[in-house]
Amino acid sequence: MKNKNFLIYFTVAVVFCFTLFIIKYINDTRNDYQKISEKILFQQASTLFNNIVTIRKWSSDHGAIYVKAHEGIKPNPYLPDNHTYTKDDELLIKINPAWMTRQISEISNAKEKYYFKITSLNPINPKNIPDEFEKRALKHLQKNKNDLYYTSLGNEKYDFMGSLKIEPSCLNCHTNQNYVVGDVIGGLRVSIPIDHYKENVEIVDSKTNILYFVTFFTSIVFIVIITFTIHSIYTRELNIMKLNKTLENKVNQRTKELREANKKLLEISTTDYLTNLSNRRYFFEMGNKTFHLAKREKSKFSIICIDIDFFKHINDTYGHNIGDEVLKYIANKMSKSIRKSDIVARTGGEEFTILLNNTDENSAFILAEKLRTSVENSVYKTDDLMIQVTISLGISELRQEDEDLDSIISRADRALYIAKKDNRNRTVIYRF
């Protein structure tokens, strides 16, 4: 769960940082476009300014020009030596650079959308008195003589003020104003409408806002999808883990049940159903292993064959149910008499066989007599019956020439036959 939360937080952080980067890029692009648009306005205004300044300089270099008097033009009252006559007495009116600049500006202002105005903080002509922008611009240019222009972007127009400096020819008209060559005498204002600029900026702003929205929306969608995917993956893994755990528990349970079933099957297959002693199959399986081990290790190994005396008479007299109880009774006596390392099995109807590890025939005889005496000295009792039971026993031990378990059992069985023939209730060791 911690890994899931960390992965979600990390993904959100990455998407958030990437979103900020995209937004910054969009904003920087918008600002760059606006700067480029403002630069285009500046270049347009400075080009118009330079065109006027070039004409002005031409006029200044020639010490002003003279034009024939005609309707609509009179000598400039603010200009000394403002006219002259030809040899034919034709009136020539003097046009100095400042007056030329004003006339060109007025013609342009009447025909074009652009606006020109020549102005000064100390104008000779009252028409050249500056407005608030022009005052601010001229003061800035006088204070910062290295600056060639001053600009301002308003709501309706772009204002450009270029400085006009004193040329030698200018001193003819401004001798009383204490100017020297290089001083800022005034400025030429150029105003450009910004309708197209504003329209383009509004379009860019609109598209920028759309890009902002798309970026935010896309980021949120990505975060939701990635978070949902991570959550789904971890939920699926959790479900898989739960299923695996459940399956593992079921497998363990089934394995346990199978082991118990196998254990029961093994018990059923190796245990006599009536006496709970080992059955004939188990006896011979373990007996053969014990036989070969004893042969290899050259150790002692004995077999006792046991038969209940007159068992047929008990069945015939008291019934098979009592006979079965007698079998259980004898089996219980034998189970209590042998060691855990020995094996006692029911190998026939009323026949039993005991396998004794590391035991010679004499020691086996002692155990057999103890068992025979225990049975002889006890009585099988029920509520209304008392039955005296005895057993006969035959013993044989492993011999070097024996090649299989059956050889030993065969000798013990012959000894048992001798014990039963000799009045029963006795133990016989095979010594032939």
Per-residue pLDDT of the chain (432 residues; tens, 9 = 90+): 557 788 888 888 888 898 999 999 999 998 998 899 889 988 988 888 888 878 777 777 777 777 887 777 777 777 777 777 888 778 888 777 776 777 777 777 766 677 888 888 888 778 788 889 889 998 898 888 888 899 998 888 899 998 887 665 555 555 555 565 666 678 888 888 888 888 888 898 898 999 989 988 898 998 888 888 888 888 888 888 888 888 989 889 888 888 887 777 766 778 888 999 999 999 999 999 999 999 999 999 999 999 999 999 999 999 999 999 999 999 999 998 888 889 999 999 999 999 999 999 999 999 999 999 999 999 998 878 889 999 999 999 999 899 999 999 999 999 999 999 988 999 999 987
CA–CA dist 115, 104 (Å, integer): 11
Which value, in Å, is the radius of gyration of the alpha carbons in the chain?
66
Burial class (CB in 10 A: 0-12, 13-18, 19+), 414: middle
Q: How far apart are the first and last CA of the chain?
A: 83
pLDDT at 277: 92
Residues paired with residue 131 on neighbouring β-strands, in sequence order = none
What is the separation of C-alpha 402 from the centre of its chain, rounded to a whole number of angstroms?
A: 74
Write down the pLDDT at residue 173: 59
Quote the CA–CA distance of 180 and 170 in Å, as a whole number: 9
pLDDT at 415: 95
- Diameter over CA atoms, the chain: 192
C-alpha torsion 400→402→404→407, nearest 10: -140
Q: What is the pLDDT of residue 332?
A: 92
SS3 of 246-268: the string is HHHHHHHHHHHHHHHHHHHHHHH
User: Given this structure, which CATH class describes domain 280-429?
Assistant: alpha beta
Note the pLDDT of residue 160: 92
- Nearest partner of 290 among 343, 331, 335, judged by Cα: 343
pLDDT at 174: 57
Neighbour tally for 16: CB within 10 Å: 12
Q: Which residue has the tokens 């969608």?
A: 221
Task: In the chain, list all ranges with CATH 3.30.70.270.
Answer: 280-429
Q: Which DSSP letter does residue 187 get?
A: E
Amino acid at 189: R
Can you give the pLDDT at residue 181?
61
Residue owning tokens 């940082």:
17
Give the Cα separation of 224 and 8 in Å (integer).
10
Closest CA to 93 of 81, 101, 103: 81
Out of 350, 351, 369, 401, the active site residue is 350
Distance of CA 188 to the CA centre of its chain: 67
Coil, helix or strand at residue 65: strand
Whole-angstrom distance, CA of residue 338 vs CA of residue 359: 12
Q: Beta strands 386-388 and 391-397: pairing type?
A: unpaired
Q: What is the DSSP string of 325-368?
A: HHHHHHHHHHHHHS-TTSEEEE-SSSEEEEEEET--HHHHHHHH
C-alpha 353: how far from chain center: 70
Output the pTM of the full model: 0.50
Give the per-residue pLDDT at 180. Answer: 58
Give the per-residue pLDDT at 313.
92
pLDDT of residue 57: 76
What's the confidence (pLDDT) of residue 409?
Answer: 95
For residue 168, the model assigns a pLDDT of: 59
Residue 350 bears catalytic tag: yes
Give residue 214's Cα distance to chain centre. Answer: 26
Please say whether the beta carbons of 355 and 343 come within 8 A: yes
Which residues, in sequence order, are bridge partners of residue 388? Answer: 379
Give the CA-trace dihedral at 193, 199, 200, 204, to 10 degrees.
Answer: 140
CB 118 within 8 A of CB 101: yes
Strand 351-357 and strand 301-308: the pairing is antiparallel
